[in-house]
Structure 1
Amino acid sequence: MNAIKEFRRNTPAMTVEAAEAARAQLMAAIHGPDAVRKPTATRARRLSWRVAVAAALALIVGGTVVTLRDKPDMTPVASVAELGERAARAAETDPTPAPGPGQWLYTKELQLTGVEGDVDRDQRDTWERWTSVDGKRSAWYQDGKLMFQGSAVMNPAELAKPPVTSAGVIAKIKAAILDEDRRGSQELNGQVPTGMLFMEINQLITEQWLAPDVRAALFRALPTLKGITVTQDVPVADGRRGVAFSLADTEARSYLILDPETFRYLGTNSTRLKDRTYTWADGNKETFKAGTVGLTAQLEAKIVNQAGQRS
């Protein structure tokens, strides 16, 4: 089942809006409309997952390329608090030099979608993205042409303002979400659901370069969120397996997966738990079935000097 192509069937060639719409439909298949990202032009500061699964900080930024290998002898972590602390310490001790102000984070991600227990591993997409380290611009290739847009990722400088604490970074992310909601749909009534906050953190971890202390604060914050637990031996899209922050609600079961030895980011895994039908802006209705699975795997993450550069 090639769900990525299926979800894109009603979108035009990959303009900015089309790319975002395609990802929005796949997001809805896993989580529903609350997780759908609208085009940047109408949501200038939205912090939401733009990956093609419900499934954000490249923990590996110094020219690192992921080696695909199995890890059969993983050492389990005892609790989600321990996972958060180990991941935070890995972020704090990362020896990679901080990038310069004009540099970009390049990420390459494998995306895989199917039905639980029967994911079609011959149907997959690869997504490449460049995000400026100041968080203001992003870029990707479309039909061989490098496309740019203003980035909707939260300004990393805001999160890095001292003092950097777990409670502080969570408060800033919540404030940004609620500010957008007040200026838009006004559906949240002053409350940010844990699932939405989990997605926003996931986006930052997968797409944005952040200072080590900010990364560490995010990892220490995850165990404090209601419903977040630890799950061992969770697969990502390329077959590697890791230890995960996990969240299950009435709509989906989602995982943010880390390497069990280095505690660096591997990818995401999410399964839809309920059938739901949604009506899109054009009036068309679409039903997404329980058991739809989305996986990602980060294949590369490195700092480069300009958008479009891969090495």
Structure 2
Amino acid sequence: MNELKEFRRNTPAMTDNAATAAKARLMTAIHEPEAARKSAATGARRFGWRIAVAAALALVVGGTIVTIRDQRDMAPVASVAELGERAASAAENDRTPAPGPAQWLYTKELQLAGVEADVDRDQRATWERWTSVDGKQSAWYQGGKLMFQGSAVLNPAELAKAPVTPAGVIARIKAAILDEDRRGPQELNGHVPPVMLFMEINQLISEQWLAPEVRAALFRALPAIKGITVAQDVAVADGRRGVAFSLTDDGARNSLVLDPQTFWYLGTNSTRLQDRTYERADGSKETFEAGTVSLTAQLEATIVNQPGQRS
């Protein structure tokens, strides 16, 4: 099964809406295809399954095969609570200087999709993104031109307001999600599902600069979200393996993967555990088979002075 070809087969020209749809189909249909379809269709829903513009993708055909490396020296983590505490301690001990208010976070991500144990290595994607430290803008290259759009509705500074506690940051994220829902699709009925909260935290950690105390609070909060467990030896897109916060929902296991020694963010792994068929708005159907996977790996994350700069 060649998921990337299937995702791209019906993708229209790269208008803003088409770009959103392409990114949605590639990276989120595996763990929540129905929600991704709604996000692509409305263009308004930004939280939980907020989709970055797919024009940021630079598709690479061919190239060196990525092999899954064996990391036998992984530090054992006994429980999800222990994982949360280790990751929080690593965040608190980060001595990297805080960026200035006018600076940007540059991230580069590798993405793969296919069938477990046979991921399509011939079609992969790298995605570059710049996000302003204040969270208000993001940028990417499209056709050689730097494009801009509004970014997070939730200003990261809001999460950093004292006192910063696990319960407090979760409450602020939930409030922002519900506020966005009230002004948009009005689908949540006052309740934020655990998988949506988990995905929003994942996006904050992977795409946004966060103060060390905020990252620590988020890691300590994750074990308290219903259904989240610890998973050992989880692969990301570039072959590294790590320890993960995992949540199984709607027949798919979604994992936020950390380095097993440093507990820094590595990437994500979404694996479909059951076959499931979804019907699109046009009446066509698509089946996602058990074993279908979507992997990402964060290759670079650094503070720069302006969008378009990489170091």
Amino acid aligned to 2:8: R
Alignment of 1:17-96 (within 5 A): 17-26=17-26, 27-35=28-36, 38=39, 42-43=43-44, 46-50=47-51, 71-96=71-96
SS at match of 1:29: coil
Q: CA deviation at 1:241?
A: 0.7
Deviations 1:104-142 (A, max 9, x none): 100001101011232122221111111111111111111
Q: Is the 8 A contact 2:17 2:43 kept in 1?
A: no
Taking structure 1 as reference, are residues 125 and 208 closer, same or farther at Cα in structure 2, changes over 3 Å only?
same
Q: Is the 8 A contact 1:32 1:251 kept in 2?
A: no
Deviations 1:61-100 (A, max 9, x none): xxxxxxx986321110121111101111111111111111
Q: Is the 8 A contact 1:116 1:292 kept in 2?
A: yes
Q: Bigger shift: 79-88 or 266-275?
A: 266-275
Amino acid aligned to 2:160: A
Output the CA distance in 2 between the equivalents of 1:157 and 1:238: 32
Deviations 1:34-78 (A, max 9, x none): 3557369942753435379xxxxxxxxxxxxxxx98632111012
Deviations 1:143-165 (A, max 9, x none): 21111111135210111111111
Output the CA distance in 1 between the equivalents of 2:187 and 2:153: 21
Alignment of 1:1-311 (within 5 A): 1-26=1-26, 27-35=28-36, 38=39, 42-43=43-44, 46-50=47-51, 71-152=71-152, 154-281=154-281, 284-311=284-311
The gaps in structure 1 that reach 5 residues or longer are 53-67
Output the CA distance in 2 between the equivalents of 1:309 and 1:17: 26
Amino acid aligned to 2:23: R
Q: Bigger shift: 26-35 or 159-168?
A: 26-35
Q: Is the 8 A contact 1:35 1:196 kept in 2?
A: no
Output the CA distance in 1 between the equivalents of 2:75 and 2:107: 28
| TM norm structure 1 | 0.87
SS at match of 1:107: strand
| TM norm structure 2 | 0.87
Amino acid aligned to 2:44: R
Output the CA distance in 2 between the equivalents of 1:104 and 1:220: 26
Percent identity, aligned pairs only, is 75
The gaps in structure 2 that reach 5 residues or longer are 54-67
Q: Is the 8 A contact 1:37 1:48 kept in 2?
A: no
Taking structure 1 as reference, are residues 222 and 39 closer, same or farther at Cα in structure 2, changes over 3 Å only?
same
Taking structure 1 as reference, are residues 34 and 169 closer, same or farther at Cα in structure 2, changes over 3 Å only?
same
Taking structure 1 as reference, are residues 43 and 49 closer, same or farther at Cα in structure 2, changes over 3 Å only?
closer
Q: Is the 8 A contact 1:108 1:126 kept in 2?
A: yes
Q: Bigger shift: 135-144 or 10-19?
A: 10-19
Output the CA distance in 1 between the equivalents of 2:37 and 2:210: 24
Q: Is the 8 A contact 2:48 2:197 kept in 1?
A: no
SS at match of 1:243: strand
Output the CA distance in 1 between the equivalents of 2:161 and 2:38: 27
Corresponding residue pairs, total:
297
Deviations 1:15-41 (A, max 9, x none): 432222112123123322235573699
Q: CA deviation at 1:296?
A: 0.5
Output the CA distance in 1 between the equivalents of 2:155 and 2:220: 20
Amino acid aligned to 1:31: E
| CA RMSD between the two structures | 2.4
Output the CA distance in 2 between the equivalents of 1:242 and 1:42: 33
Q: CA deviation at 1:272?
A: 1.6
More RCO (CA 8 Å, sep 6+) = 1
